[in-house]
Amino acid sequence: MCMSNASKGLWFSLEIKAEEYVAFISTEALLVHFQAAGTDKHQLRRAYRKHQEAIDAVAKERFHNDAPRPVKLDVSDFRDRGFFSGSSPQGEAIAAP
């Protein structure tokens, strides 16, 4: 799994048609829409795991709509989808196990 200094968020993998792909969700999206308790890697991973089905569904939708690879999700990908909206602190990019 990758880590990035340029982007702040969480890298994760998802399976599409028996192939594994890497995707990214910003720290801001995890905080604003998925109630991550903070910006450390454990809090971001916990929020991702709790909402993995919804996050993966959006990533797969972007993948099937020809988004650039790797698929990168941010706050705008979850607007108007019924997800919680709150504050937007910053964090570092980490990899989901």
The pLDDT assigned to 12 comes to: 96
Residue 84 pLDDT level (bands cut at 50, 70, 90): low
Enumerate long-range contacts of 81-85, CB under 8 Å, 24 or more apart. Answer: 83/33, 83/34, 83/54, 84/32, 84/33, 84/34, 84/35, 85/32, 85/33
| Domain-embedded: residue 2 | no
3-state secondary structure of 52: helix
pLDDT digits (tens, 9 = 90+) for 26-75: 999 999 999 999 999 999 999 999 999 999 999 999 999 988 999 999 99
3-state secondary structure of 62: helix
Structural contact between residues 77 and 60, judged by C-beta atoms closer than 8 angstroms: no
- What is the value of pTM for the model shown? 0.78
* Domain residue limits at 75: 9-95
Domain count, the chain: 1
Distance between CA atoms of residues 39 and 37, nearest Å: 7
| Domain-embedded: residue 18 | yes
